[in-house]
A and B are shown apart, each in its own frame.
Chain A
Amino acid sequence: MQPLLSQACWDTLYMVGWSTLIAVVGGLPLGILLVLTDRGGLLQNVLANKVIGQIVNIARSMPFIILMVALMTFTRWITGTTIGREAAIVPLAIGAIPFFARLVETAVREVDGGLVEAVQAMGGNTWTVVRKVLVPESLPSLIASTTTTIVALIGYSAMAGTVGAGGLGDIAIRYGYQRFETELMWITVAILAVVISLIQFAGDYAARSLHRRGGRSGPAPKLRLLKASTATSKTV
């Protein structure tokens, strides 16, 4: 039982870790682009904004299990297989990119336009604005968004068991639901709860300590993002 569980833990972390990394790398620029290309944005381009927005919406409203099936060809092309951990990372990451991008968009929109203007008045270009203003000023919110994404990914990764990727969720379903080994199921549920709490705690702590340093007034970004994530999780 012990090796089974530790293998499952490791599988979950592996899948979630890689897919989070890819989601951040892909979602961050996408979210920023959504803000910049919007009406009145620095790179205003209404058509591009509509197109990106639509793609993000469609991808985000796709149930994960369907996404996994729909992406099979693509997954095989990337990883050479459609089963196992590596194969699960592809749909997880692709599902999480638009999810994270929307959170990034919300966070970046919160940045005071006056700061953008100040940097423009200093002679900064759009790239400078992104690097020196948009990202650092929304960092606490971005960290909170990442936490939300990780937690959501842990949830999705349970479904990845259906393609033989293993992981904690897979154990809970296979042993608990299908074989009525409730003890094992409860243990995995407990482990999941602890892992999620730890991640949430670490994320909140990081966001809050940055936030305190900046000391801005207004509600903590966490609350806003939690609201955003409950709204989005309905459509997932």
Chain B
Amino acid sequence: MVNIPSTMKISLRALKANKMRSSLTMLGIIIGVGAVITMLAVGTGARQEIAEQISSVGSNLLMILPGATTAGGVRMGAGTQSTLSMADAEAIKKECLAVSYVAPSHGGVAQVVYGNQNWSTGITGTTPDILYVREWYLSAGRPFTEQDVKSATKVCLLGQTVVDNLFGDINPVGKIIRIKNVPFTVLGTLESKGQSPTGQDQDDTIYIPVTTSQKKLFGTPFHGMVRIIMVKAKSTEDLNTAEKQITELLRQRHHIGQKQENDFTVRNLTQMMKVEEQSTKVMTLLLGIIASVSLLVGGIGIMNIMLVSVTERTREIGIRMAVGAKTWDIRLQFIIEALTLSLSGGFIGIVIGISSSEILSTVAGWTTIISLFSVILAFCFSALVGIFFGFYPAYKASLLNPVEALRYE
């Protein structure tokens, strides 16, 4: 039976006898663990940021824009020639089976007035589907309906920024505002969504029925013209199918010949972000690996010092063996010594890792997330390093020949 408390006392005393050496050895682990924690915090933060962007834009989203895409992905003549119409949107909804919601949009920037307050903002004419496509809920009131779209009713939904600027503390639902001097009834208000991935204020917007926008506010070069059609696929797996179905349908509707280029572009927003998310994942992994290598180097430092320590203390080991220390008494003594180095290094490393993550987020403005998991992982990892790199020196010590160890100078 190994006497653990006494063995621990012996190990701690040996470490205290060489304070400078012990702290320098610990430094390797401190830097390693600190780096692992910081890198994981930065990586997790970056991924979280992208995940938030995806969910703020809406998932499983396709965007149909007028104009062709060149091989390099640059859209030519964007917005100059309008090729999309309400009829296209209706056809997509009816015929593309992989699609669940379709929201065409048409609009512009206009002055909005309530009482003596006025505010200039983007007006988007669209269909009720927009709320499902963007996964955007109302904070008050009710949405407009298909009936409102059919009869081009003068009703609107206000984004939170517009509410703040026009109404302040007043409840806007049911009030009349003037857009380009045309009176609109406020049906409801949209929940706050914050900034878009590109840094725009998504709440600075007003939704109105698409037909109202076309007929009463901004006009169209041809009947039913829309600027963009946003589409939500039934599921992530359906995204590619939906893209194919839409392309096929629109080529047919726009009478585009076999060799001709599309006069529209389908953009898979979700996929673009997924790609970005994937590359962040790879980056996190790389950072983690680099940090782990420094932890490994710290572990090798421990092993190195432990080997020196075993050699220096050969005679001590001989004395212990002579008075009855068994194999595991000797082994544990050195393993506990290595473990103490690595665990206290790990503990300080965790503190330093957490503080440097905090500094990165306050000074550099990076999103950093310290998960309990990464802290536990780093701690277990440093314990493992201690046991792994402490074992060989301990094993070596336990195999010493007592007679030779006692004679060692």
**A and B from one assembly?**
no
Residues of B within 8 A of A (CB): none
Residues of A within 8 A of B (CB): none
